[in-house]
Amino acid sequence: MLERLGPYRILRQIGRGGMGTVYEGVDLASGQPAAVKLLSAELARHAGFRDRFEAEIEALRKLHHPNIVQLIGFGQQEDQWFYAMELVSGSSLEELLGRGRTFEWHEVAEIGIETCRGLRHAHDRGIIHRDIKPGNLLVELDGHVKLSDFGIARLFGSLRAVGPGGVVGTAEYMAPEQAANPAGVDQRADIYALGCTLYFLLTGGPVYPGRSAMEKLLAHRKQPVPSLKVRFPDAPDWLDLAFQKMIAKNPAERYASMEEVCRALQPVRKPSPWSSLLDLVSRVKMTLFRRNRVP
């Protein structure tokens, strides 16, 4: 059992994935709790790893936002590299789904708004997440959402250390252009992934199911964008329109920024007397959007 990493005493393992293991730890000097991620030894063998790791983590420490898990520090112990994050009391959306939790459309829209705010803060500082998915969205005990794993996603983007075909991200949520050119994505790739995430929360399944990662990636490129209402008939028209625009195949057809996505999801907070009018406006917009889409 690992007992210590740098200044952190390790209490227990709380997660594990292909890129590393996460532990609950406590800073021996300050007593501050932390989630300490020990990166896999394979990553450290990449040429120039140390310089890129330190540069990326230092940049990410500048992210200070209530909807982003704060990076605290990083270090090396022998040949093991780790970084420490704010310890969030709560569960990931993936964990909640695994326990059978279901989400109503208004909850999904609220999750989208909070995630947008965190991503807007990062995008304004030139940082693209690249791996938005339910497992990287943590829900605190008070219900607020925090984005995690910016460090891992950013680092993989520079190392090109990845999955099928050299791709950075997760196939169920990945924008078509990200699969084709991982290093060349902008904020619209995160918008796409957020749209796919909201769809999963609402319907309980991916936008494009597939038997393999490559089959899913191909579906993101080729299959038509579905309507939320096929799987979730109670979704309001304005939410269906927002979703379809978020996951348009062509990045130019998506929202241009997280600010625009936030505005598109704001009707969830409007007084109920306006709901019928908002749905009427959304239906008109959806009709125009579909007519003007580039084949």
Same domain, 257 and 182: yes
Note the pLDDT of residue 284: 59
How far apart CA 197 and CA 24 sit, in angstroms, is: 27
Residue 185 maps to which CATH number?
A: 1.10.510.10
**Contact, 38 vs 77, CB < 8 A?**
no
- Burial category of 43 from C-beta neighbours within 10 Å (exposed 0-12, middle 13-18, buried 19 and up): middle
Same domain, 120 and 29: no
Alpha-helical (H) ranges within the chain are 41-44, 49-60, 93-98, 105-123, 150-159, 176-180, 187-203, 213-222, 228-231, 237-246, 258-265, 275-292
Same domain, 47 and 78: yes
Same domain, 101 and 225: yes
Same domain, 21 and 158: no
Note the pLDDT of residue 183: 72
Same domain, 78 and 103: no
Residue type (1 letter), 212: S
Note the pLDDT of residue 120: 97
What's the token pair of residue 7?
Answer: 């200044």
**Contact, 40 vs 22, CB < 8 A?**
no
Note the pLDDT of residue 275: 46
**Tokens 């989400």 found at:** 103
Least confident of 92-101, 158-167, 180-189: 158-167
**Tokens 């409007």 found at:** 270
How far apart CA 251 and CA 191 sit, in angstroms, is: 9
What sign does the CA torsion over 175, 178, 123, 85 have?
Answer: positive
pLDDT of 165 higher than 50: no
Residue 35 maps to which CATH number?
A: 3.30.200.20
Between strands 4-5 and 33-39, the pairing is unpaired
Same domain, 38 and 147: no
pLDDT of 168 higher than 70: no
pLDDT of 116 higher than 90: yes
pLDDT of 293 higher than 80: no
What's the token pair of residue 258?
Answer: 């997280």
Kindly report, residue by residue over 235-290, the tens digit of the pLDDT: 999 999 999 999 999 999 999 999 999 999 999 886 544 444 445 555 555 556 55
How far apart CA 185 and CA 167 sit, in angstroms, is: 12
Note the pLDDT of residue 152: 60
Q: Stretch 25-33: mean pLDDT, rounded? A: 95
Q: How confident is the model at residue 117 (pLDDT cuts 50, 70, 90)?
A: very high
How far apart CA 239 and CA 258 sit, in angstroms, is: 15
Strand order in the sheet with 90-92: 90-92, 137-140, 145-147
Same domain, 94 and 47: no
Note the pLDDT of residue 158: 52
What's the token pair of residue 214?
Answer: 């490559």
- The pTM of the full predicted model, rounded to 2 decimals, is 0.84
Beta-bridge partners for 146: 138
Kindly report, residue by residue over 42-91, the tens digit of the pLDDT: 766 776 777 777 777 877 888 999 999 998 888 888 878 898 999 998 99
Same domain, 61 and 117: no
Domain stop point among 61, 85, 109:
85
Residue 142 known to be catalytic:
no
Mean confidence (pLDDT) of the chain: 85
Same domain, 129 and 264: yes
Domain stop point among 41, 67, 85:
85
Note the pLDDT of residue 184: 80
Kindly report, residue by residue over 170-196, the tens digit of the pLDDT: 899 999 999 888 778 899 999 999 999
Same domain, 98 and 187: yes
**Contact, 236 vs 267, CB < 8 A?**
yes
Task: Give the closest residue to 65 by CA, choosing from 8, 139, 145.
Answer: 145
Kindly report, residue by residue over 200-244, the tens digit of the pLDDT: 999 999 999 999 999 999 999 999 999 999 999 999 999 999 999
Note the pLDDT of residue 271: 55
pLDDT of 134 higher than 90: yes
Same domain, 125 and 64: no
Query: Based on the structure, what is the number of domains in the chain?
Result: 2
- Burial category of 163 from C-beta neighbours within 10 Å (exposed 0-12, middle 13-18, buried 19 and up): middle
Reduced to 3 states (helix: H, G, I; strand: E, B; else coil), residue 159 is helix
Domain stop point among 27, 57, 85:
85
- Residue 142 is part of which domain span? 90-292
The active-site residue out of 51, 131, 186, 234 is 131
Rg (CA), the chain: 20
Note the pLDDT of residue 16: 81
| Cβ neighbours of residue 102 closer than 8 Å, sequence gap 6 or more | 204
pLDDT of 27 higher than 90: yes
